[in-house]
Amino acid sequence: MTLRSLDLFCRVVDNYGDIGICWRLARQLQREHALDVRLWVDDLVSFQRLCPQVATDADTQRVDGVTVRHWRDQDGVYGAADVADIVIEFFACDIPPGYISAMAACTPRPVWFNLEGLTAEEWVEGCHRLTSPHPRLPLTKHFFFPGFTDKTGGLLREAALDAERLAFQSDPAAMAAFLGRLGVTARELAATKVSLFCYPHAPLAALFDGWREGGEAIVCLVPEGVAAETVQAFLGAAPTAGAAATQGALTLRVLPFVPQPDYDKLLWACDLNFVRGEDSFVRAQWAGKPFVWHIYPQDENLHHKKLRAFLQRYAAALPALQQFSLAWNGAPVAGGQGDGASLWRAFHSEMPQMANRAQQWRQQMLANGDLATNLMRFAASLR
């Protein structure tokens, strides 16, 4: 039986990462797999920052071919006709009990997935595609894990992404025009360009000191609202979009929070990208540029274990990237973390090797296929 419709449920925990992933997935499933997609979201305000077309006061709206439902609560009465052929709950969010009961009344019953968060830990390969029978109803949920090997679901990537990146990066005039619209001057184009997206607790002041006192001109582009206190301290003014200041070798520019397609272009146009959470982390990998990951913090420092698992896969031959990444995330470093300036000097000297590794890694990830296509193939096999 043909799978024609899909419901994707998303509760926003990390302000932009969760909805960023779900919005990309929803659009790809609609455009490339011809599904009628409904995206259920509890936080339309965060969603609007990534997608300005979203109306924050609408219960139901159509955006970019996707039906967006404001997921207000767990109440509601649902019938079998309200249930999609494929149901995805993102990161183990609890979908409404009434909807689950309606799923059980469907013939055939929907394909039900829990789409998990991304991790490089080895145990994921053994849990990918595992089943979880409902304790009362005749329903079975399947766990689907994104990942970095062919024994996982792969990474989220649109079919045209690589061609779009190559066309943009092969056109210096287009890159200059794009950066110019963000306020970057012609003189600043020759500097090392860094995009910065991090959580508030990042050791940013020490990094700014290292850049400011270094011998190479750096232009740091930071979205409005990111690390606001540290950015304001550097600027000496409110960190609103358009604000800029230069101290020593460092120029800091505050950007408006751009839509997802423009964020991809920002990653493609910069020499180094600091990213956070999951969505921007994955997009930085497809950009094929050096990057530093600020992982979402978890209780008991479980995120440090996940960070080390990724660094073991990605940066085994890049010691400066390992040390810098651990220090950036507040994780213990053998021999001590060192000061920001020394960490940056070692990191900077290793950047040519990082650039080569970024390209190699991108090719490895391409070989695993993309998350949406892998998920649809598995869904079809369950019918």
Active site residues: 18, 278
Indicate the SS3 state at residue 8.
strand
For the record, the structure tokens of 146 come out as 């994104």
Which residue, among 50, 46, 63, 64, has the nearest Cα to 262 in the 3D structure? 50
Phi, psi of 350 (to 5 degrees): -95, -5
* Distance, CA of 83 to CA of 69 (rounded, Å): 14
* Distance, CA of 193 to CA of 188 (rounded, Å): 8
For the record, the structure tokens of 339 come out as 């000061």
Cα dihedral 73, 258, 270, 208 sign? negative
* Distance, CA of 347 to CA of 349 (rounded, Å): 6
155 near 365, Cβ under 8 Å? yes
- Reported residue count of the chain is 383
* Distance, CA of 88 to CA of 142 (rounded, Å): 10
Residue with tokens 């490339």: 32
Strands 5-10 and 86-90: parallel
